[in-house]
């Protein structure tokens, strides 16, 4: 049954494949064993044709196929996804797109998301751990949700450390994800917006740089637009 489902999904992907997109990804250094180049809306349509289930999701995830990994994040039931398995998936994330899809489709829906966030944001060993934490926060804040006080405190402190502390050595993707999460957090209220912007006061040297000014002004504009 499982093998039949996998074969059916592969046939559906082949029918929707886009060689131009897969070639473009490969030229940008995104290398999978197999990449059909199927756009996300069509991947969602394929996911809707199949019953969510942990066995199917696990089988999809273990394959080095772009669309299989995205489908795994869509078909894995959030209420049947152990904490240790979530951590393992984070370790195995190969590219930013998969980090984004897992965060949006699955991780932000987990009942233990607060504990997951605290584990990820202090994880400097796994390449995508901190990026995933910010992406999860962005999804939660976008939906108007809140997090428990220790998780909120970690978010505020780590955002500024990621963006403004040059010695920390945050990656570009971490910084971009942090800024995205800060925007959605600041949109929630005037107090949240003030909280985000006041954090820059502790980093005057960073504010003297073009990058610091650009990020600060970007956030300020965002908050004023949505106020």
Taking only the tens place, the pLDDT of each residue in 41-71 is 999 999 999 999 999 999 999 999 999 999 9
Separation between Cα atoms, residue 164 and residue 107, nearest integer Å: 27
What is the reported pLDDT for 227?
74
Separation between Cα atoms, residue 70 and residue 29, nearest integer Å: 18
The H helix count followed by the E strand count for the chain is 14, 0
What is the reported pLDDT for 226?
85
Taking only the tens place, the pLDDT of each residue in 148-186 is 999 999 999 999 999 999 888 899 999 999 999 999 999
Taking only the tens place, the pLDDT of each residue in 204-221 is 999 999 999 999 999 999
- Total-model pTM: 0.96
What DSSP assignment string belongs to 155-216?
Answer: HHHHHHHHHH-GGG---HHHHHHHHHHHHHHHHT-HHHHHHHHHGGGG-HHHHTSHHHHHHH
């Amino acid at each position: 049954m499982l093998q039949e489902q996998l074969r059916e999904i592969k046939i559906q992907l082949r029918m929707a494949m886009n060689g131009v997109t897969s070639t473009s990804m490969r030229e940008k250094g995104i290398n999978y064993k197999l990449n059909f180049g199927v756009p996300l809306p069509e991947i969602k349509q394929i996911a809707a044709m199949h019953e969510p289930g942990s066995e199917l999701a696990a089988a999809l995830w273990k394959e080095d196929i772009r669309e299989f990994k995205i489908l795994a994040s869509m078909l894995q039931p959030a209420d049947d996804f152990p904490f240790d398995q979530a951590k393992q998936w984070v370790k195995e994330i190969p590219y930013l797109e998969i980090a984004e899809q897992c965060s949006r489709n699955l991780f932000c829906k987990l009942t233990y998301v607060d504990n997951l966030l605290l584990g990820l944001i202090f994880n400097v060993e796994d390449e995508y751990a901190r990026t995933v934490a910010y992406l999860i926060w962005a999804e939660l804040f976008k939906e108007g949700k809140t997090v428990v006080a220790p998780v909120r405190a970690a978010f505020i402190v780590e955002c500024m450390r990621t963006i403004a502390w040059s010695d920390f050595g945050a990656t570009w993707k971490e910084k971009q994800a942090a800024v995205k999460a800060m925007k959605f957090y600041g949109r929630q209220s005037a107090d949240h917006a003030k909280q985000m912007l006041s954090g820059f006061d502790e980093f005057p040297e960073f504010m003297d740089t073009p990058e610091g000014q650009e990020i600060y002004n970007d956030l300020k504009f965002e908050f004023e637009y949505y106020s």
